[in-house]
Amino acid sequence: MTAYNSKAFSFLLIFSSLSYLSHASDTLKPGETLYNYETLVSSNGVFELGFFSSGDSSNEYIGIWFKNDKDKKAVWVAKREDPFPASSGSLSVTKGNLVIYNNRTSDMTILNSDAPATSEDTIAKLLDSGNFVLIQDEKTIWQSFEHPTDTFLPGMKLGLFNIGASQPRVQFLLSWLSPDDPDKGSFFLGFDRENKTQFNIWLGENVYQEIGFWDGQKFRLFFESSSDNHNFSYVSKEKETYLIFNNKESNVYSWFVMAHNGVINEYRMEDQQISMVNYSLCDGTTERNSSGCLIIPLVCENGDDFYEIKGLMPTSIITRRATAIGLNGCELLCRSNCSCVAYAYSNGHRAECELYYGSKVDLLKMTGEGNQAILLRGHRKSEQNRKKNRLILVTAGVMSLILVIMILLATYLIRKYRLIGFDWQRDGMRSNMRLLLSQFTNENDIKSNIIGFSKRKNQDMLPLRFSCVVAATENFSAANKLGEGGFGPVYKGKLFGQDIAVKRLSKNSGQGLMEFRNEVMLISSLQHRNLVKLLGFCIHRDERILIYEYMPNKSLDSIIFDRTKRLVLDWRTRKNIIEGIAQGLLYLHKYSRLRIIHRDLKTSNILLDNYMNPKISDFGLARAIFENEHIAKTKKIAGTYGYLSPEYALHGLFSTKSDVFSFGVILFEIISGRKNSIFCESDCSNLLGHAWNLWSAGSCIELMDRTLAGTCPMTDLMMYIQVGLLCVQETAEDRPSISDIISMLSNEGASLPMPKQPAFSTHLMTDGTTSSRRTQYPSQNLVSLTGFVAR
């Protein structure tokens, strides 16, 4: 994130000195007009109001900015969804109202249309707080603070007003569309209309980030500002609920901005200098370990067990949620967040779940102060040593007896069944796992696979009944359908209170039972934060179903190739995605039990969690090779055009370098926001060839997605493009390993090898002649996620 994200506010300076003399005051009186080359300045010179244009746009807006801000970044914009052409606007007090004129079209907009004046004796005034007000009979009838844009200033209120009226007023922050476009963006910050104690960042209708809550006694924020210069107040009355803050220090002015990508940034002005404070909020683009943030590690330090105590919940860091999900749902909410220390569930006239995020020591101190049933994370300690020792003796005796019985039983089974002679068909309790193995493997394979599963203890990956899957997806309701790929349709479901993704093998799918078995057998043995987790599977007659953890942000391709959605992916988020994919591949290629080649790595197979962390998915085409193997061959070439390495597409040879090639293609798609398989410029080269030409010409910036302007350092861009070119070289031996790639990306300034021209970077169109560098044209069929290529 760059400091105070804004560029190039251009102002017309015609007659500037004359106009400054005429409108250097803070007031616009009846009949007066403010033209596009004039400004209002608050009485103490803190804020300035005038006309501005942003970025390369020819449109103009009316806005307010800090007078001494060299970038003139607007903290408030009037009618930002309806700009007017440059040099054509004016603002006046006409018949008591604030009116914006488009002097080219003669159109006019009343700024205070929600509170029209009833008298012509009004004045408009810019205050030192940044509030632009319309005053009638010494009473404010309209103010800009009631119509905030993306900036939360001291004294401004965010909340719900006129509650119970036919048209209640909601005041919230709404992000810009991009760093240079003041139009309405995708993220907003405000209170939950249903639960007025919750203060959240929203993306559409979904909660993107919890910011704070009212615990019944005070308003708690899920962060601590590093500047600690704020006094927040939560006001809840019959007709209104809002949050307001003021600065503690009179000589330091600080405020908050809702950035275009959903991040809240804090700024401060001290000694007339504006700077951005270090991240004050935990968000999806930063590590959740800064001061005051709720830390969510991969493994919960205190475990995932809960035991009951009697006491009273402390008031510090506690959130209450009215819920109908019951005790189990309340436990799931706490279990899914390692920062949750304890929970309690009340099933009275209003079902309520309390989640406690404070100190465990503070909670235990209050065990004698109440009779509330509280479930505390951790393990209960024995109360008396005598009982503990007695339990150990009893347990030791029982375990010894069990051990003897198990030895005798094992000896009997080995002699009678010889392990692999067991007749699965005679077992009336045959499980889904046995059915899966018996369909695709011979007797020896069954033995090795069962032993492998036993050693790995795949207790998290469960066979499920078909009826459970039907109930979880509401009978595969069309409303729950997330999309469809080569395997078949994918549905959103809910199982035991947890969101899941259900992938159902289509009868018309190009993939089949072998791919289904392959995915179950491979992914169940893989555990890594950048690999999607398989929760279970189901086999029922001709149904083959896979159940995964649900990824709320869906797949990378659904965001990176969408002009609006990709605005949430700033450069740091994209770097995090690239590096996360690399870490997942490193695990597959080097640290998993077998060396795994994914063979179908592409943006649609990269899923994104709540915090935009990438997870590699879809292992139906993956192949495992042993440690001493480096390359394998197949007669059946499977994958997706645009991502296939040349040795695999042409000769069926695949290795870890095949995945490296696909990774390079994904890297270019993330940087450019453009798809390789449908890219076509005037020379009809694909995205790889386009990148090569720009890099060779020293014009790397032309490859960069325009939405990254101002956020992507040039050194970063050049390094990532060079690494991408190294990945997509034609010869597999020339490509770096994934461990080398991670080293390159993490060592800024390191000297990188010079890449050779990429594979498939040119299309040779001749009259039947061939070339040693043949290229295949990309498939235009973008519906299927996976294509099979006949050799």
> Can 271 be counted among the known catalytic residues?
no
Residue 746 to residues 664, 708, 741, 743, 749, Cα–Cα distance (Å): 16, 21, 9, 5, 10
**Using CA atoms, how far apart are residues 375 and 329, in angstroms rounded to an integer?**
13
Tokens 């692999």 sit on residue: 420
Could you say which of 181, 600, 618, 659 is catalytic?
600
Burial of 219 (0-12, 13-18, 19+ CB in 10 A): middle
Q: How many CA atoms lie within 13 A of 569 on its CB side?
A: 29
Phi-psi group of 557: left, alpha or beta (phi > 0 → left; psi -120 to 50 → alpha; rest → beta): alpha
Q: Are 672 and 678 in contact (CB under 8 A)?
A: no
Give me 522's structure tokens.
């491979």
Q: Are 156 and 145 in contact (CB under 8 A)?
A: yes
**Using CA atoms, how far apart are residues 717 and 748, in angstroms rounded to an integer?**
11
Cβ neighbors of 118 (< 8 A, separation 6 or more) are: 96, 136
**Using CA atoms, how far apart are residues 776 and 650, in angstroms rounded to an integer?**
9
Burial of 687 (0-12, 13-18, 19+ CB in 10 A): buried
**Using CA atoms, how far apart are residues 746 and 511, in angstroms rounded to an integer?**
38
Q: Which parts of 619-655 fold into alpha helices (H)? A: 646-651
Phi, psi of 428 (to 5 degrees): -65, -15
Q: Where are the beta strands (DSSP E) in 419-533?
A: 462-463, 481-484, 489-495, 498-504
Tokens 């289509």 sit on residue: 506
For residue 85, give the DSSP letter.
E
**Using CA atoms, how far apart are residues 432 and 193, in angstroms rounded to an integer?**
45
At position 221, the amino acid (one-letter code) is L
- At residue 333's C-alpha, the angle toward residues 331 and 337, to 5°, is 110
Burial of 180 (0-12, 13-18, 19+ CB in 10 A): buried
- Nearest Cα to Cα of residue 352 among 316, 323, 374, 375: 323
Q: Are 664 and 736 in contact (CB under 8 A)?
A: no
At position 484, the amino acid (one-letter code) is E
Residue 202 to residues 1, 187, 210, 482, Cα–Cα distance (Å): 20, 6, 9, 21
Please list the residues that pair with 375 across neighbouring strands.
308, 343
Give me 434's structure tokens.
């046995």
Q: What is the DSSP string of 278-314?
A: SP-S--TTS-TTSTTS----SS-TT-S-EEEEEE---
How many helical (H) and strand (E) elements, i.e. helices and strands, does the chain have? 15, 45
Q: Are 687 and 679 in contact (CB under 8 A)?
A: yes
Q: What is the DSSP string of 677-744?
A: GG---TT---HHHHHHHHHHTT-GGGGS-GGGTTTS-HHHHHHHHHHHHHHTBSSGGGSPPHHHHHHH
Give me 123's structure tokens.
């004045």
User: How many whole angstroms from its chain centre is CA 173?
Assistant: 20
At position 294, the amino acid (one-letter code) is L
Which residues are known catalytic residues? 600
